[in-house]
Chain A
Amino acid sequence: MSATISQPRSMPRGPMLIFGALALVGIVTFGVGLSQDPERAYRVYLHNWLMWAVLAQGALVLSSAMRLTNANWQGPIHRVLDSMGAFVPLSLLLFVVVWIGRSHLFQWVDPVWAAEHIHGKELWLSDPSTFLRDVVLLAYLAGVSKIYLYMSIRPTLGAARDNPSTPMKGMVDMWTRGWRGEAAERALAEKRCRKMAAVVALSFTIGYSFIATDMIMSLAPHWISTMFPAYFAWGGFLSAVSLATLILLFMRNSDGLAGQFTESRRHDMGKMIFAFSIFWMYLFWSQYLVIWYGNIPEETSFIVARLGTQFVQDTWYLQGFWTRISEPYVKLTLVTWILLWVVPFWVLLGQKPKKTPIILGTVAFGSLFGFWIERYILVTPSLITPEQVLAGAAVTPFGWMEIGVALGFVGLFFLCFLAFAKVFPGAIPAKS
């Protein structure tokens, strides 16, 4: 590792400005949105918060999975994943806004409504205990993630520690207290991280199962599906794989990463997107099949609101297909099927597309965009029902508020990413 890389660097000006501006756009849009239509603003906020919070945590889970399986093919990939995890503590803070907007999002926060409509569920869904539970879980996840990141990054701080002119020396000193020398630190980090990785992975599945139940399933409080939490959390994991691939492709010629994202590593990331997208569809189908088969209104309501009447009960006839596909939200949901499964499956089936940056990048971007729409589809139809849309309620995933807030989250996510990846020496690139 060269001396320049092992020293903390200041944030790169260009990207900082761009992402800072995006974050500002998001904040301003959200502010204006709140004053004009708070319901829509909080809805959009929840949609984007879900997307990025679970993605950041999913990135750390992939990094943990690499440690747990003793993978040695990844080179700098797990450092990129660690840097993506830097958003996790911020996602905890951003959750406060969801709590503030709770009365605009969740019907059950009104105890009178809850007692009348979801009798029996008030114990689980009530204000503030539901939010308190989720905050505790998110704080726990942030704590676990921070410990994992500390253990993972600590051995790379040796040179920064020895250099008196290091910026942010206080923090570096704190993170390298009791330094044992680089070789010993690396060996220790390897051992410690592997234990911590198991904790991160398990905590993720438990934590985000709660978030999926409390923050998405409860938007339609009558609906239940035991498969849904796993389906949602897996989506977070897959979106992290897609974003990591995109970041690596973008940075593959940059300073310390040049020559690191080799053809065989691209092949491996492509294989992961391919395999995990099949598993995503598998989970979706497992959930859909039992709902379709059982045909209980309580369960089908969720599917009907998203996939329309075409795909339940007297389904899959060609007769009337096009009219029924024009029901609200249906086309959008089918687009997520295409972006998250059809395209990754057929395009990444061969070896060459996985290795070709432009094809792999396009599929990864499509998958990420697909997840953004999928998160929208999970949230919005529960709050603005298809009946309301047919009665004239305006709803679109591409309105100014939707795009503005989404850009804001992109900005905040990448500010965290850059802060971690650039300020911590050795975060990117890392010695493999």
Chain B
Amino acid sequence: MAEVLGVLKHPLDTADAVTKLRGAGFEDLNVYSPVPSHEIEHALHRGESGVRLWTLIGGLTGVSLGYLMTIWMSYDWPLVIGGKPFASIPAYTVIAFELTILFGGVLTVAGLVVHGLILSRDTSSAYRPSFSGGEFGCVVNCHSDQIPRVQELLQGAGCTEVRVVEG
């Protein structure tokens, strides 16, 4: 197996390069981008991120906890307030709503950390600091005999530099 790196200057060119590579049958791709880009995301066809599940679970936990906690507390220490029932749903909706947002938000951040930092830890030697600055990197994993074809495709897509990282 080999790793070929192409360096690009523009997100649209990068998306274009990804589309061309995928079109030629190279599916094992990795892109370094200094900015989030819908175009690159669409070109890569990565599917939906797992972070959304964290948000959903957080939100549902928050809303259930908000109601359960308030209702439990009002029956645990019953006090009649303003002639209302002990468990006053309208007032507790505010707490449930806020906890939905709090738990949803906190778990989204946790999901981002888990998916972005821990699960997708990158050990490739192709990375360079400029990919967090002003350049885009497109890394193709392929067989050694496919290297010339990949290089040709990357150059055709407008890469300023094409390099075999491992091979």
Contact A314 B94 (CB under 8 A): no
Chain A residue with the shortest CB-CB distance to B83: A313
Which A residues are CB-close (under 8 A) to B88? 315-316
Tell me if A289 counts as interface (CB < 8 A to partner B): yes
B94 (CB) vs chain A CBs: closest residue = A289
Cβ–Cβ contact A313 & B93, under 8 A: no
Q: How far is the CA of A264 from the CA of B42 in the complex (A)?
A: 11
Q: Which residues of B contact A317 (CB under 8 A)?
A: 85
Residue of A nearest to B81 (CB): A293
Cβ contact within 8 Å between A289 and B85: no
- Docked-complex contact A351 and B48, CB < 8 angstroms: yes
B85 near A316 (CB under 8 angstroms)? Answer: yes
A313 adjacent to B91 (CB under 8 Å): no
Does A285 reach chain B (CB closer than 8 Å)?
yes
16 A-B pairs (CB sep. < 8 Å): A285-B90, A289-B90, A289-B91, A289-B93, A293-B82, A293-B90, A295-B82, A295-B83, A314-B83, A314-B84, A314-B85, A315-B85, A315-B90, A316-B85, A316-B89, A316-B90
| List of B residues within 8 angstroms of A95 by Cβ | none
Per the CB 8 Å criterion, the residue count for chain A at the interface is 13
Q: Which chain B residues lie closer than 8 Å to A288 at the CB level?
A: 90
Decide if A315 touches B82 in the complex (CB within 8 Å). Answer: no
Residue A292, interface by CB 8 Å: yes
Interface string of B12-36 (1 = CB under 8 A from A): 0000000000000000000000000
Docked complex Cα distance between A20 and B89 (Å): 49
Instruction: Decide: A315 and B48 in contact? CB cutoff 8 A.
Output: no
Contact (Cβ within 8 A) B91 A293 = yes
| Cα(A162)–Cα(B32), bound, Å | 51
Q: How far is the CB of A263 from chain B (nearest CB, A)?
A: 10
Contacts of B82 in A (CB 8 A): 293, 295
Residues facing B in A261-295 (CB within 8 A) are 264, 285, 288-289, 292-293, 295
Instruction: For A315, list chain B residues within 8 Å (CB).
Output: 85, 88-90
Q: B85 to chain A: which residues have CB within 8 Å? A: 314-317
Chain B's nearest CB lies how many Å from the CB of A353?
A: 14
Q: How far is the CB of B37 from chain A (nearest CB, A)?
A: 14
Q: Determine the residue in chain B with the shortest Cβ distance to A290.
A: B90
Seed contacts A295-B83, A315-B90; 15 additional CB < 8 Å A-B pairs: A285-B93, A289-B90, A289-B93, A293-B91, A295-B82, A313-B83, A313-B84, A314-B83, A314-B84, A315-B85, A315-B89, A316-B85, A316-B88, A316-B90, A317-B85
Interface residues of B (CB under 8 A from A): 38, 48, 82-85, 87-91, 93-94
1/0 contact trace for A348-389 toward B, CB 8 Å? 000100000000000000000000000000000000000000
Shortest beta-carbon distance, B79 to chain A, in Å?
A: 15
Q: Whose C-beta in chain A lies nearest to the C-beta of B87? A: A316
In the bound complex, what is the Cα–Cα distance between A292 and B83 (angstroms)? 11
With a cutoff of 8 Å between Cβ atoms, the chain B residues found around residue A316 in the complex are 85, 87-90
**Which residues of the partner chain B approach A289 to less than 8 Å between Cβ atoms?**
90-91, 93-94
Closest to A352 in B: B48
| List of A residues within 8 angstroms of B93 by Cβ | 285, 289
- The residues in A between 296 and 317 inclusive whose CB is less than 8 angstroms from any CB of B are 313-317
Please give, as numbers and ranges, the residues of chain A lying within 8 Å of B48 by CB-CB distance.
Answer: 351
CB distance from A9 to the nearest CB of B (A): 35
- C-alpha spacing A174/B105, complex, angstroms: 54
Ordered nearest first, which 9 A-B pairs have the shortest CB separation? A316-B89, A292-B90, A289-B90, A314-B85, A285-B93, A317-B85, A293-B91, A316-B85, A313-B83
How many angstroms from the CA of A293 to the CA of B81 in the assembled complex? 10
Interface residues of A in 239-268 (CB under 8 A from B): 264
CB of B62, distance to nearest CB on chain A (Å): 15
- CB neighbours (8 Å) of B87 from chain A are 316
A268: min CB distance to chain B, Å: 12
Minimum distance in angstroms from B39 CB to a CB of chain A: 11
- Complex: how many Å from CA A128 to CA B90? 40
Q: Which residues of A contact B83 (CB under 8 A)?
A: 295, 313-314
Residues of B within 8 A of A264 (CB): 38
How far apart are the CA atoms of A295 and B93 in the complex, in Å?
18
Residues of chain A with a CB closer than 8 A to B84's CB:
313-314
Alpha-carbon distance between A293 and B90 when the two chains are bound, in angstroms: 9
Q: How far is the CA of A351 from the CA of B87 in the complex (A)?
A: 36
Which residues of chain B are within 8 angstroms of A313 by Cβ–Cβ distance? 83-84
Q: In the complex, what residue of chain B is closest to A349 when comparing beta carbons?
A: B56
Q: Chain B nearest CB: distance from A330 CB in Å?
A: 16
Determine how close the nearest CB of chain A comes to the CB of B148; give it in whole angstroms. Answer: 37
The CA-CA distance from A5 to B48 in the complex, in Å, is: 39
**Closest chain A CB from B57 CB (angstroms):** 13
- A285 to B88 Cα, complex, angstroms: 14
B91 to chain A, nearest CB (A): 7
Residues of B within 8 A of A314 (CB): 83-85
A419 to B38: give the CA distance in the assembly, Å: 38
Across the two chains, which residue of chain B brings its CB closest to A312? B90
Q: Which residue of B lies closest to A292 (CB)?
A: B90
Q: Give the complex CA separation of A316 and B89 in angstroms.
A: 7
Q: Mark A312-327, 1 if CB is under 8 A from B, else 0.
A: 0111110000000000
Q: In the docked arrangement, what's the CA distance between A289 and B48, Å?
A: 38
Q: What is the bound-complex CA distance between A316 and B94, given in angstroms?
A: 15
B94: chain A residues within 8 A (beta carbon): 289
Shortest beta-carbon distance from A298 to chain B in Å: 16
Q: Which residue in chain A gives the minimum CB-CB distance to B89?
A: A316
